[in-house]
Structure 1
Amino acid sequence: MTSNGTQGTHGAILADTVPEGSDGTIVELRNAGKSYGNIRALHGVDLKVHPGKVTCVLGDNGAGKSTLIKIISGLHQHTEGEFLVDGAPVRFSTPREALDKGIATVYQDLAVVPLMPVWRNFFLGSEMTKGPWPLRRLDIERMKKTADEELRNMGIVLDDLEQPIGTLSGGQRQCVAIARAVYFGARVLILDEPTAALGVKQSGVVLKYIAAARDRGLGVIFITHNPHHAYMVGDHFSVLRLGTMELNASRDEVSLEELTNHMAGGSELAALKHELSQVRGVDVEELPEAGDLKAPVAMAKDDAP
């Protein structure tokens, strides 16, 4: 890091004071959608990302989470509504344009080379060099020192940065990817199902560093299937179902039980409760009534811009 700015992607310097929307919003989607020919993958989505806040996006397979990630990260362009960064409409053509705006994405596969050392993966594609052209070479010592400092700043202490990153646990690899994104100037960090393939302990480690990124002022978009993980660190919750937003509520507006019911398809289960009650061996006592789920859904519609 530098004293007058933050180290940005591929050595770019991002200013400490970045213009934001009038209400502090960094990234905002207004009635956004995406169609692939006749297939409408996403429709009518409203989302705001604020600095120092974790926005959790939940949904089952096919709900539209991947499409949402691709729009914000610059892989795909929206076909409906508006996409704003710092209050200005944008339409990214490539992920590089999103990175230049400080939007970094950590995918499930992490885009690491398992047999390369930790420090090498930390700077993969953005290596530091030294010496005059055409004799420039990798500045290995500086990269090792910087990687160690940045990992420690996030609370990650590794005994040996020379060890292949593939020898680390899944949670540790996720944390290295998060620290890398923070170092290279991310203002918005998109995490794609970071705890999906992890055990309880490793999931806890990742959640700890999500909170650490939030505390450093980043706006975090946490994509997950797990409402319990989301509720541990989330400040705002959005539930997608079949490409539309079913729930859009802040932490003080929704309980863990309500969030779990929406994530589990509570409205469909409530509608089927009578039929399920006639099937032997199915306990329907804990299923929600249809009326129990109306308030959060109505609230989501009322809050939409």
Structure 2
Amino acid sequence: MSTGTAVPLGNTDTALSLRGICKHFGAVAALTDIDLDVAAGEVVAIVGDNGAGKSTLVKVLSGVHAADAGKIFFHGDEVSLGSPAEAHAMGIATVFQDLALCENLDVKANLFLGQELRPWMLDEVAMEKRSWELLRELSAKIPTLDVPVAALSGGQRQTVAIARSLLSSPKVVLLDEPTAALGVAQTAEVLNLVERLKDNGLGVVMISHNMEDVRAVADRVAVLRLGRNNGVFDARDVSSAEIVAAITGAADNVVSRRAARHTLAQREEKEQP
């Protein structure tokens, strides 16, 4: 049974580390003393109730928000993520829940949106070649590059967004609720993509509310509660009930009750003649 303490990464290459990350919005503490490690070739799921700080943490890691305190290490070097462009250039790619795709454009145009190849004009041939390379890396089920994104399924759209994030050859990919609002078949397709990212040696941080999806692909599960760490678990050794207990605080109550009973028993022993 997991204790909820941090699981050592062993000899794996740590791609991303957070130490003591704090973020305030006025008087509200969104994140307090957050620690997190993500290894290359590892999927770390971040779970928690609404308001636990998951989205804020992703925005800190993607450079949208600057942390008020704490340190971020990328492959062992302390870094500062002052903007999304800095995070992207460093090797941290983010796929937000809204995907930010242009539905009227085709797959290839969306993949290279803002990153077009143009020595003097658009290099359509090179862009098409690279597009198919990316999709093959992910074993993606996209029949043609010329179809408008509006005609794709939810799972296929997620595929396009993830493939686009790989154009810059990142080391870490952040996925914000990648299976939200998807059907069973589409969810399986996206989870397969997550496995492919892991197999390609990328560190993956996946925000999710779906415990089945977390158990399917995550190596470790980090629980946030009220903006704080509330346990990091080895996904192979922890039950869904234990994770839910950490999310809701039930595990904290159990520990508190045990500590209270222990203290009471000690007092009663001292009072006995």
- Which band: TM-score by shorter chain? 0.7 to 0.9
Partner of 1:133: none
Task: Give me the whole-angstrom Cα distance separating, in 1, the residues matched to 2:12 and 2:111.
Answer: 34
User: Cα offset for 1:52?
Assistant: 0.2
Compute the displacement of 1:236 (Å): 0.9
TM-score (norm 2): 0.85
Select 1:112's aligned residue among 91, 94, 101. 101
For 1:129, which of 101, 118, 124 is the aligned residue? 118
Is the 8 Å Cα contact of residues 32 and 43 (structure 1) preserved in structure 2? yes
Report Cα offsets for 1:117-148 as digits up to 9, x if no partner.
00000111100113xxxxx2111122122212
Three-state SS of the structure 1 residue aligned to 2:166 is helix
Of 147-156 and 221-230, deviating more is 147-156
Contact 2:72–2:80 at 8 Å: present in 1 too? yes
Within 5 Å, give how 1:32-111 maps onto structure 2.
Answer: 32-111=21-100
In the aligned structure 2, how far is the partner of 1:66 from the partner of 1:186? 20
Q: Answer yes or no: is the 8 Å Cα contact 1:102–1:188 preserved in 2.
A: yes
> Which stretch has the larger CA shift, 210-219 or 179-188?
179-188
Larger RCO: 1 or 2 (CA < 8 Å, sep 6+): 2
Paired residue for 1:258?
242
Aligned pairs for 1:218-237 within 5 A = 218-237=202-221
Partner of 1:303: none
Distance in 2 separating the partners of 1:34 and 1:293: 31
State the partner residue of 1:267.
250
Q: 5+ residue gaps in structure 1?
A: 1-21, 131-135, 272-289, 295-305
- 1:144 partner amino acid: E
Deviations 1:11-64 (A, max 9, x none): xxxxxxxxxxx8621111112111122111100211001100000000121110
CA distance in 2 between partners of 1:292 and 1:210 (Å)? 37
In structure 2, the partner of 1:156 is 140
Distance 2:175 2:206 in 1: 5
Partner of 1:137: helix, strand, or coil? Answer: coil
The residue type paired with residue 27 of structure 1 is L
Q: CA RMSD in A?
A: 2.1
Instruction: State whether structure 2 residue 190 is matched by structure 1 residue 206.
Output: yes
Q: Is the 8 A contact 1:182 1:213 kept in 2?
A: no
Q: Secondary structure, in 3 states, of the residue corresponding to 1:221? A: strand
Q: Map Cα deviations across residues 95-137 of structure 1 (whole Å, 9 max, x no partner).
A: 111111110000111111001000000111100113xxxxx21
Give the aligned partner of residue 20 of structure 2.
31
Q: Which residue of 2 aligns with 1:165?
A: 149
Cα distance in 2 for partners of 1:37, 1:89 equals: 26
Distance 2:168 2:161 in 1: 11
Q: How many Å apart are 1:223 and its aligned residue?
A: 0.4
Q: Secondary structure at the match of 1:204?
A: helix
Aligned length: 248
Instruction: Choose 206-215 or 143-152, whichever is displaced more.
Output: 143-152
> In structure 2, the residue corresponding to 1:43 is in which secondary structure?
strand
CA distance, structure 2, for counterparts of residue 34 and residue 250 of structure 1 = 27
User: Which one-letter code corresponds to 1:172 in the other structure?
Assistant: Q
How far has the Cα of 1:256 moved from its partner?
2.7
Unaligned regions of 5+ residues in structure 2, if any? 1-10, 259-273
1:67 shift after superposition: 0.8
Alpha-carbon distance between aligned partners in 1 of 2:206 and 2:124, rounded to the nearest angstrom:
33
Q: What is the DSSP-based 3-state SS (H/G/I as helix, E as strand, rest coil) of the residue aligned with 1:47?
A: strand
8 A Cα contact 2:12 2:40, kept in partner: no
Distance in 1 of aligned mates of 2:240 and 2:15: 27
Note the C-alpha offset of 1:253: 4.2
**Is the 1:266–1:293 contact (alpha carbons within 8 Å) kept by the matching residues of 2?**
no
What displacement does 1:293 show?
A: 11
> For the Cα contact (< 8 Å) 1:28–1:84, is it kept in 2?
yes
Contact 2:177 2:207 in 1 (8 A): yes
Query: Does the 8 A contact of 1:116 with 1:165 survive in 2?
Result: yes
Percent of aligned pairs sharing the same letter: 41
The letter of the residue matching 1:50 is: A
Aligned-pair CA distance for 1:80: 2.0
Indicate how the Cα distance of structure 1 residues 64 and 145 shifts in structure 2: closer, same or farther if over 3 A, else same: same
